[in-house]
Amino acid sequence: MAKKRSSTESFMTLGHIALAGWALVVIVPLLWTFASSFKTNSEIFGDAWTLPGALRWENWAYAWEHARIGKLMLNSVVVVAFSTFGTMLLGSMAAYVIARYKFPGNRFFYYFFISGLAFPVVLGLPSLFLIVRNLGQTPGIGDFLGLGTTPGLVLVYIAYSLPFTVFFLTAFFKTLPHSVAEAAMIDGASHTRLFFRVMMPMAKPGLISITIFNVIGQWNQYLLPRVLMQGRSGVEDKYVLTQGIAQISTTAGYEAHWGPLFAALTMSIIPMIVVYAFFQRQIQSGLTSGAVK
Amino acid sequence: MATVSYKGATRRYPGTTRNAVDKLDLEIGDGEFLVLVGPSGCGKSTSLRMLAGLEDVDEGAILIEGKDVTNLPPKDRDIAMVFQNYALYPHMTVYENMAFALKLRKTSKDEIDRRVKEAAKLLQLEEYLSRKPKALSGGQRQRVAMGRAIVREPQVFLMDEPLSNLDAKLRVQTRSQIASLQKNLGITTVYVTHDQVEAMTMGHRVAVMLDGVLQQVDTPRNLYDSPANVFVAGFIGSPAMNIKTVTLGADGARFGSMLMPLTREQVTAAGDGKVTVGFRPEDTDLVAPSEGGLPIVVDLVEELGSDAYVYGHADVNGEQERFTVRTDGRSAPSLGDTVYVKPRGAHHHVFHAETGVRIA
């Protein structure tokens, strides 16, 4: 008995050491980025462990003004807001139908979504580029949806996020009790109302976790906007945050302003930390709700 | 308020060979409290769900108030259902749970408020109206589920083992509440349970099912007094009836040394050689050795205070058979005693040895 307890304890200790190491791996680069946002170029290329000589808020001001962080952030917020909303609406409806209704082709649609998970997005880029370009040449909707348009990017983000969203939510909807749905049917709810008034609220923990996951994933998306936000005059005004920050480092070549770049990076991280802090409780309950019965 | 008719209603689950419910014919009167009872898997819940529209009817028809509802969705049948696990909406308050169906029917706010408050008063839920289901006890949740059904004022109540998640004491209490509630409201009710005590105490009539087939439907008294076959005889009554298949003589059934007299008609109907007879533990007396009873060795005595159940075995025609007898609690025999058992008067039941059908 005593031996068993001590082995559990040593396992816990090892676990804590591993977690502490993991935390350092995550936190140190973040702190380094934050510290570097106050440094000069020469300080940055000097010893990485030194603190900045002064709190150079001018780096932040430079990033805000010259790199137009405010504008970029607004663009990102708009894109992520629409695409997350679209992903959640379509994803939850698709997952609900796949999880709760029997119809021919049910498995086919499920695996079709899953196959999207197995497909590396890099491989799809050329064809995705062509599809969006062709969409842009379609009369009527072309100006609205083609390359270098915000709605076009939103559409691609939604398509990109659906596979995991459907995969996750299908499993979640399957765990919800059937009798509640049956009670609602007897109470007179239509399929639509049953979904929006009863099943959606019951799936809230799952919906919240996957929403956070999508918000963070889409906020950090670089590859897709890099490929799709081009080929239109004035497209720079529609750049999302990741693109804009990358531009700071590339446009100036080797003369890059590293301090302002780190300031811009820090600013781009803050909204995500705020979102996470705000929904932390829901994320945890969402992640564990499947495990605890 | 309405009548309900099952007309040859059959349900076969895809991929199975046996019908879950097989040609069910059942007429339920206006305002009647009908209980469907049977062991698990007998098709009683499926029958109820067919009436609710939650289960397809593969053959036959179901009528409510003479109107064919076989292919109508649940919401067009004007029924309300109470589920075993209550199936309350977890994100809504008690008030919203009860008001949901009325809101969907576009009932006016005042009317909803009046009906919900009325039901809440009836079920003593008034102080819990703003709580969510998870902040309620099991008994309170059960009452909310009842309330949700009552506010609808439906034509038919359907209840699927609504008491089985309650503890024993609360179950007995709620049992009588539901029965009197149904009496006051006068709404036709179909109630499913596996508990024969619930069935007997609540139902105006009780329908006993086995393997998807309706065995007998009658008043509790008639089910108890004249079960239609061996299954019903063994299922209704607790402890179960002593049912034995024994040798048939010219003047009755032979239990080893004891003769159970049968009429000439019964002997003729029983056919050749064997007959199945049953007698209830409560219709049995312990008698003196000289009175011609069956000698039984006592294996176990259950003392219930007022009564005692004596379980024992006897050698009947070369086989060890087990018997149960109810006796007075104050004069119960001890373990290992030999007692003499005699069925009382004409309270025994006779069935055909092969078919199990009652012989009058």
Helix (H, G, I), strand (E, B) or coil at B231: helix
| 8-state DSSP, A268 | H
Q: Is A43 a domain residue? A: no
Query: Beta strands B33-37 and B188-193: pairing type?
Result: parallel
Q: Does B84 touch chain A (CB under 8 A)?
A: yes
Given a cut of 70, is residue B11 above it in pLDDT? yes
Q: Which of A179, A189, A197 sits opposite B83 (nearest CB)?
A: A179
- Which domain does A66 fall in, by range? 60-288
pLDDT of A290: 44
What are the structure tokens assigned to B265, written together? Answer: 């008609």
Q: Which residues of B touch A198 (CB under 8 A)?
A: 89
Let me know: does B256 contact B340? Beta carbons within 8 Å: no
Given a cut of 90, is residue A24 above it in pLDDT? yes
b/e code A118-147 from CB counts within 10 Å (16+ = b) = eeeeeeeeeebeeebbebbeeeeeeeebbb
Nearest to B259 by CA among B352, B333, B348: B348
| 8-state DSSP, B276 | E
Contact between chains at A186 and B79 (C-beta distance less than 8 A):
yes
- Which phi and psi angles does B151 have, rounded to 5°? -60, -25
Q: Which residues of B touch A201 (CB under 8 A)?
A: 89, 91
Q: Is A93 a domain residue? A: yes
Q: Which residues of B touch A180 (CB under 8 A)?
A: 87-90
Contact between chains at A202 and B79 (C-beta distance less than 8 A):
no
pLDDT of A5: 64
pLDDT of A68: 81
Nearest to B188 by CA among B46, B26, B299: B26
- Region B203-212 average pLDDT: 95
Lowest pLDDT segment from A32-36, A156-160, B29-33, B201-205: A32-36
Q: Which comes out higher in pLDDT, residue A277 or B340? A: B340
Let me know: does A242 contact A216? Beta carbons within 8 Å: no
- In angstroms, the separation between the Cα of residue B113 and the nearest Cα of chain A is 17
End-to-end Cα, chain A, rounded Å: 29
Q: Is A31 a domain residue? A: no
d(CA A196, CA A287): 22
ipTM score of the complex? 0.84
Classify burial at B132, counting beta carbons within 10 Å of its beta carbon; exposed 0-12, middle 13-18, buried 19 or more.
Answer: middle
Q: Is A29 a domain residue? A: no
Given a cut of 90, is residue B222 above it in pLDDT? yes
d(CA A60, CA A92): 40
Nearest CA in chain B to A181: B87
Looking at every residue in chain B, the average pLDDT score rounds to: 91
d(CA B14, CA B199): 30
- Region A210-214 average pLDDT: 89
Query: Beta strands B205-210 and B33-37: pairing type?
Result: parallel
Given a cut of 80, is residue A6 above it in pLDDT? no
Where residue A249 falls among pLDDT bands split at 50, 70, 90?
confident
Residue with tokens 């973040």: A30
The pLDDT tens digits for A91-139 are 999 999 999 998 999 999 999 999 988 888 888 899 999 999 888 888 8
Q: Does B322 touch chain A (CB under 8 A)?
A: no
CA triplet B121, B125, B126: central angle to 5 degrees? 65
Look at the pTM and tell me if it is higher than 0.95. no
- In angstroms, the separation between the Cα of residue B60 and the nearest Cα of chain A is 22
Let me know: does B270 contact B352? Beta carbons within 8 Å: yes
The pLDDT tens digits for B193-203 are 999 899 999 99
DSSP string, B332-344: PPPTT-EEEEEE-
Given a cut of 50, is residue B244 above it in pLDDT? yes
The pLDDT tens digits for A160-194 are 999 999 999 999 999 998 999 999 999 999 999 99
Q: Which residues of A touch B89 (CB under 8 A)?
A: 180, 183-184, 198, 201-202
CA triplet A113, A115, A119: central angle to 5 degrees? 125
Classify burial at B305, counting beta carbons within 10 Å of its beta carbon; exposed 0-12, middle 13-18, buried 19 or more.
Answer: exposed
**Residue A3: CA count within 13 A, CB half-sphere:** 0
What are the structure tokens assigned to B323, written together? Answer: 């018997």
Looking at every residue in chain A, the average pLDDT score rounds to: 86
CA distances from B20 to B10, B15, B199, B233, B359 (A): 8, 12, 21, 22, 29
Where residue A292 falls among pLDDT bands split at 50, 70, 90?
very low
Given a cut of 80, is residue B178 above it in pLDDT? yes
Given a cut of 60, is residue A2 above it in pLDDT? no
Task: List Cβ<8 Å contacts ≥24 apart for A173-180.
Answer: A173/A95, A173/A96, A173/A99, A173/A100, A173/A199, A173/A203, A173/A206, A174/A99, A174/A100, A175/A290, A176/A202, A176/A203, A177/B85, A177/B87, A179/B83, A179/B84, A179/B85, A179/B87, A180/B87, A180/B88, A180/B89, A180/B90
Nearest to B182 by CA among B207, B160, B203: B203
d(CA B215, CA B132): 42
Contact between chains at B90 and A188 (C-beta distance less than 8 A):
no
Residue B6: its H or E element? strand B4-11
Query: What CATH number should be reported for the domain holding residue A167?
Result: 1.10.3720.10
Q: Is A260 a domain residue? A: yes
Contact between chains at B83 and A184 (C-beta distance less than 8 A):
no
pLDDT of A205: 83
Q: Which residues of A touch B85 (CB under 8 A)?
A: 177, 179
- In angstroms, the separation between the Cα of residue B114 and the nearest Cα of chain A is 18
A interface test, pick of B13, B81, B88, B112 with most A CB neighbours within 10 Å? B81
Q: Is A88 a domain residue? A: yes
The residue type found at A97 is: V
Contact between chains at B75 and A186 (C-beta distance less than 8 A):
yes
Nearest CA in chain A to B79: A186
Q: Number of Cβ pairs closer than 8 Å across A and B? A: 62
The pLDDT tens digits for B34-57 are 999 999 989 999 999 999 999 999
Q: Which residues of A touch B83 (CB under 8 A)?
A: 179, 182-183
Contact between chains at B91 and A188 (C-beta distance less than 8 A):
no
What are the structure tokens assigned to A121, written together? Answer: 């997005």
Domains of chain B: 4-231 (3.40.50.300), 243-351 (2.40.50.140)
What are the structure tokens assigned to A90, written together? Answer: 């379509």
What are the structure tokens assigned to A166, written together? Answer: 């459907």
Provide the number of structural domains found in chain A.
1
Q: Which of A177, A198, A202 sits opposite B85 (nearest CB)?
A: A177
Q: Which of A186, A188, A198 sits opposite B89 (nearest CB)?
A: A198
Q: Is A282 a domain residue? A: yes
Contact between chains at A183 and B74 (C-beta distance less than 8 A):
no
Q: Which comes out higher in pLDDT, residue B311 or A273? A: B311
- Which phi and psi angles does A6 have, rounded to 5°? -65, -35
Q: Which of A186, A190, A202 sits opposite B80 (nearest CB)?
A: A186
Helix (H, G, I), strand (E, B) or coil at B171: helix
Q: Does B81 touch chain A (CB under 8 A)?
A: yes
Q: Is A207 a domain residue? A: yes
pLDDT of A254: 58
Helix (H, G, I), strand (E, B) or coil at B40: coil
**Residue B62: CA count within 13 A, CB half-sphere:** 26
Where residue B318 falls among pLDDT bands split at 50, 70, 90?
confident
